[in-house]
Structure 1
Amino acid sequence: MKKSINPKRTDWPEILKRPTRTVEDIEEVVQEVFREVRIKGDEALFKYTRLFDNVDLNTFVVSDEEMKAAALLVPDELKAAIGRAKDNIQKFHAAQRTEPVRVSTSKGIECWQEKRPIESIGLYIPGGSAPLFSTVLMLAVPASIAGCEEIVLCSPPDRSGTINPVILYTAGLCGVSKIFKVGGIQAIGALTFGTESIPQVYKIFGPGNQYVTVAKQLATRYSIAIDMPAGPSELLVFADETAIPSYVAADLLSQAEHGADSQVILVTTSDDFAVKVYEEIEQQIKELPRRQIAQKAIENSRIIVAESEENAMQLINFYGPEHLIIACKNEDFLLEKIRNAGSVFVGNYTPESAGDYASGTNHTLPTNGYSKQYSGVNLDSYMKSMTFQRISKDGILYIGNTIELMAAAEGLDAHKNAVSLRLNDLRNT
């Protein structure tokens, strides 16, 4: 990890630069796959599954028999753990329900707002070396609570043509409607355009690599909504000398092992503490099965020694981390100052891993600085707010002239006439 001591604000953009490629670097490849999926449908999916996943399939559909077989392969102890995590995630997201808002804005005018579920959603679940069955919980549980009618899940097959059995078991537990063995850009393309096998959806959720992230962004050009730009994982820890170096090192490594393009950052006001954490990282990384991946991520990561807590918070808000851990004596001060973070973890005994799996909050969060304008996935992500109004005779008589005057001032006579006709009828009866 590279260390910076009291860096100048003008140096922050370079010091905090993410190790990701730009949309322009990837867009051409994504557009090519999208064009082919749009024109050729399943034929293109079979082609790119052979090319990218090294497997020949004769169907993308996961059958009921495969679901039953997968459930038998999951140990009972893990099923119980998934069940406990699901309960916590369900409690937290169910608590986010809101009642309709009803207001009488004027005499005879009633306005209200209600939330309705998005009818059809697509979930993308990464596979590969770390099949993220926990992401199924994070995406499918709130979708079920919201009442989405169709929940379509895509996840890449392994070389034997199957999806990890824990992903399938969790999907079944959470009420996913349809599951397909397709991954990467081609999966996002299929959910965007629809194919012979895979239905088009209205909104796409889920994390992925840089290609999946760009594919989701390009899907928005075709009238498909997405949860957020969610790419390679990142974690920033702010800790002072009251924190426990081994815990901080373990937290940093927990995100570094996600992928070589992940980024972890330690910000502290104590250079001595920074040294202790670095030494812990050097020791702990030796024991990790995924140490080669973690090591590459660590090479892209930083230790920053800030001159003060105030300066540290300015830097953190400038970076806008996906995950932020605060482990320090003066935590209330920092909590008050946070403006940009996807999810915040407070105290020595709140590892980021808790949010990844089982505490209840959602782990699908904005990365690459998008926490400055995006929220993480929550119940509202699966809902649309619809407004309603009802105006009585008294109401239109009260507000009618206001509407006429405003419409005439904008030169929209048909708008004015829609009111004037009603007013004339009421005044002549």
Structure 2
Amino acid sequence: MRLATAETPAADLGHLCYCTNIHPGDSWEETRAALGKYLPEIRAQASPGMPFGVGLRLSELAARQLEDQPERLPEFIQFLSRHQLYVFTLNGFPYGQFHGAGTKRRVYLPDWRHPERLAYSNRLARLLCRLLPPDIDGSISTLPGAYAAHLDHPAQDAQPIAEQLLQHAAILHRLHMESGRCIRLALEPEPECLLETTADAIGFFQRHLLTPQALRRLAELCQCPPNHAETLLRRHLGVCLDCCHAAVEFEDIEASLQQLSSAGIALVKLQLSAGLKLDRVQPSHRAQLRSFAEDHYLHQVVQRTPSGLRRFDDLPAALEYLEQAYGAEWRIHFHVPLWTRQLGDFSSTQDCVRQVLARHRRQALTSHLEVETYSWHVLPPAFRDGNLVDAICRELKWVKEQLQ
């Protein structure tokens, strides 16, 4: 949906959606059934009588089925039109199964070293070209290169990752020339990944994508003059800032936004999400921490002490060191509803989202905003307030209230 305040024209604050990765489904049949069930009801409640934006998640299987079976995409486009829905952004992070026990580290595979990731991202871009409304640019968020533990030699592995990103940028340029639709890929920093923070992402661009050698390679791929390559790269590649990830990493959000701007790297997409935090870890927190240590997703933990940060790749691993953490601050990568400030002994990182939205209200940071609370189904029951439709609509309403 288009966003507006009393002082700011709608187009200036961009488009808001929620990410449909909250709905389980790997095949196109499963995905289409979930979209048919939830989207009309959510639009009617969250955006009555007005067009409603969709942040679409397609697995590799669903994307392949949607593109390869000619009757499916026109039917989906008709569904979108009938219900006043429009797709402007895709979540291209999870390649395969996303929901289900044991997803954990598998969600990062194949990563950007592998041709399967490039082929999947190219397919998503082709589909988005056909789904986009004529007056809106598109975005696709993706994993930040790779999960760090999957890399034997991170410094060496960065080069093949950069090569495939350059190849994808060339595909996006070609689609732009052929269709007039501009699509941008957004690398999404996440704890325990090759790019954990905004600063990591900026460094990767500067060391591997904006070098003279990389720009010559892009010019070769795009068959364009070398002095155009940097413009093309900055147009089609950028960053997705996930507020939960940034807060868990203790980022200074104002500084991160300023660093992106100073580096001339596009903030393609904001993912509006909140995580968990404990200001001072205590022995009494063990039982409640265990209630969040579920077996579907990774819940990375970052601990802050006077001597610095310590990272754990998952909450169960952090719990093994709980006694050593007494008195320290923990932040946990577990997406919780945006409206929630307190969850038992935990508070949320909602303040980071508030800060970003306050900045966006003063001066738009990007035109794509996406609520992403995919972990609703694994929240401890005590913190699941109402049904899924109401929860999603309540989050969207909360975001609009912050902007007004």
TM, length-normalised to structure 1:
0.29
TM, length-normalised to structure 2:
0.30
Larger Rg: 1
Of structures 1 and 2, the one scoring higher in RCO (CA 8 A, sep 6+) is: 1
